[in-house]
Structure 1
Amino acid sequence: MSSQRPKAFTIEEKGAIICRLENGESNSCLAKEFGVGHSTISMIFKNKNRIKESFNSNVLKPKRLRKSRQENVDQALIQWFKNMRNKGIPISGPMLQEKANGFAARFGILDFNCSASWISRFKVRHNIVAGKIVGESSSVDQNSTTNWLISVWPNLRRQFSDDEIFNADETGLFYKLMPIKTLKFKGENCSGCKLSKDRITVMVTANISGTEKKKLLIIGKSQKPRCFKGVKSLPVDYANNRKAWITSELFEKWLRDWDRDLVKKKKKILLLVDNCPAHPNVTDLKSITLAFLPPNTTSVLQPMDQGIIRSLKMNFRKNLVLKMINCLDANENHSSTKVTVLLDAILMVNDAWNKMSQSTIHNCFKHAGFIESHNGLPIQTSEHEFDEEDEIPLSLWSRNLNSDSLAAPEMWEDYVDIDSGLLTSKEPTDENIVQNISAKEQLESDGEEEVEEAPLPTAEEALKAAELLSRFVHSNIENDNLTIAMSSIHNSIRDCFYNKMKKQKQTKITDYLQ
């Protein structure tokens, strides 16, 4: 009988083995390569869900997956720890002990007294190590970024093509903000939420190749805005809560809805998100592999933050400025030069998203280091590369309009970035954390309605507008695809108009009995 101890694999090694098995490599070949029995490889694959969960959470070095006996306390403490580290607050062992005892009391665990050894095991379970704070506490950890790109990212992406790897991120948007108001807000801290009265949160999602831009998720304050009355379909997904923020419940619902859609299409994807409090580790997904970027690295690793979101806002505000100019040129009063309803903003931001070029999205992923070189190492470019239309500065674009009504050119860049620091999620309190883990928190529902309301155009008004637009397209634009599309729109609106006319003229039998 051999006295040699069986080989113990780290989580990183097990994750790589699972990826290779899922890519079609045989159990026997891997067993022979690593010098272990078939049963060892089979056991790793049997526990793939737990291993993937740890692997995707950047827990790589432990060789065994040991759960805590106080699992609720463990999960609450790691959520609290991530929140504090995302804020750049240094955490010590005694602080963890004190917090663990506090969570135990909230869960009603009376016989728990957190010891130093419990904290040691907690740190091993979650790959927490001691480190010296250098410079600003909120600075990006370059070592974590490099290590993740070299050791974690290649294994994550191995079983997915560029078309199947997505990144999602949220951004706050002041959808009524006009450039002439920028002077009032210059230097004001958006995180204080003083400007959040007319805001939405936009979830932006696309794949590495830029070939698929997922439908936007828009989060507003009202559950049933008045401007939605009579609207049969929206080009975006819409959700709500009182702050117009993303929440863990909204994120999980959005994720599971997408997962069900992918199951129907028999498609599997990898989704990369940051580890903010509103992004829980959703389990039991069938078609989505959820992976989290390392803490304090999203400003460098998050592809959406490398220019995609900024280009989206720039294009949105170009639409907004054009609306303002049209109103001013028509000698309408100032109150009409703003977006009066949420529906206007949704249509404009969706139009801006549709215009985002494939090359701009792909190059932002490349800038973040997600595109590999010929030697297999990630490429992090020093300069951004944007499509020509997406990179035109708003200040240059505005000068070309030759309008005396516009703000000074130097104010335009402030206008683009005015809501870049706007909060999109709420840091949970200790009570929120406990409620989430206990599965007692209910989805927040807000039945308030928007105070403003704009009447929907009638079928007759829409038909007149379609006829006018159709004449303009046919006489000014030489584009066969656009001409065909315009004819289709015109015909659809005409059919809608005549159908409504028929319904109005139909006489009911009860009319003869009156």
Structure 2
Amino acid sequence: MDMCVRGDNPVALSLSDEIEELEEAEDYSLDVDSDADDYVNDSDDEAGGINRDPRKSKYSLDKMKKIPSEITRIKAYVANEGTTQMKIQEVDERTFAEFLNCREEGIVIHDRDIEEMALSAAEGIGLENFKAGHSWIHLFKKRHNILSRKITKMIGTKTKAELKAIEESIVQFHNEMRPILATTPKNKVYNTDQSGFNLEMVSGRTLEFRGMKKVEAVSQRIQATTHSFTIQPIISVDGKLHSPLFVCFYEPAGAPKKFAEELSSFANLYCTWSKSGKLTSGHVKSWFEDVLLPLADAQSNQKSVLLVDKWGGWNQALSLEETVEKLDIHIIPPGATGRIQPLDVFFNRQFKQFYRILSDLIRRRYDGFILSTRKNLATLLSVIFHQFCAPRLVIFV
């Protein structure tokens, strides 16, 4: 972009601004012959001529280009709708705008897509011979702080109307809960949610030498990395993690006779099982009767508030007469749990990450401790749960 100097301060002008200033000058037009000749040949007459002193002249450098070839060049820029550099900048802006749009829509983007976007933008503005090569793409990503990142979650497509409906449901839910939370003691407002854990948790990344194409890691039991058990913690608004922790173990062949006896020593765990390691409506009914309702009774005679996500497994337990009498249950809107459910938003992530870190440490230091066995799983869960119940870790709840 050309620069026009006003006094001591350089001010960047667009081509159209430069042409406009030239045309606004007294007796000035873009006729190269007449204006250039006027500038070169006019006398130094104080009454009406041009004073050659650029500090006094009305045709000084801040008014016009005194060289005819410069005027011709600017006219060519205007006719071509900008300089090549300006067009390259516009290609950058259009490409980045399309990148943002794709990102908003959740579309997977690679370097080849950036190349196609840039070439399409260049064609749209008439920039010939533009090539979105590796160096241009590299600089484009560097300018806009763009990197290749691993996809951590795949989600279904949602229309804008569906997303808007979810946003409205979140606002409505917040409005409904504010007066309830304002009048209910913090230790009487609970949230619960299920979280699945692999029998053996292994980190997805490891340190390795640069340039290594094949990175392998060892697990104690490969099958244990593809099967899971489920926990269901309870937290309250006052920052407490409530005991016991409900745990559903993975028992594909059914629980052995020694199941209860083997796990009876873990007082802060309520242990049950299923062939899939996942909870059913029957498990949830047991959780209500044996874990939550006794906790609600112990606090006070006032009804407790329970926030849960929308899941069909709750229905059987929610119909219990005792549940209706002692609990005021509120369902978090579908599609909003990942954004407003307390356990989903924060605690479950911290708990699972700590479990994974401790599993890595055990594999490194105590390889004889098999993480995926029933009793060792319970030991690890019990220790971690006990730590997270500590008063100093209220900030994690």
TM bucket, shorter chain = 0.3 to 0.5
Q: Which structure has greater strand proportion? A: 2
Normalising to structure 1: TM-score of the pair?
0.37
Normalising to structure 2: TM-score of the pair?
0.47
Q: Relative contact order (C-alpha < 8 Å, sep 6+): which is higher?
A: 1
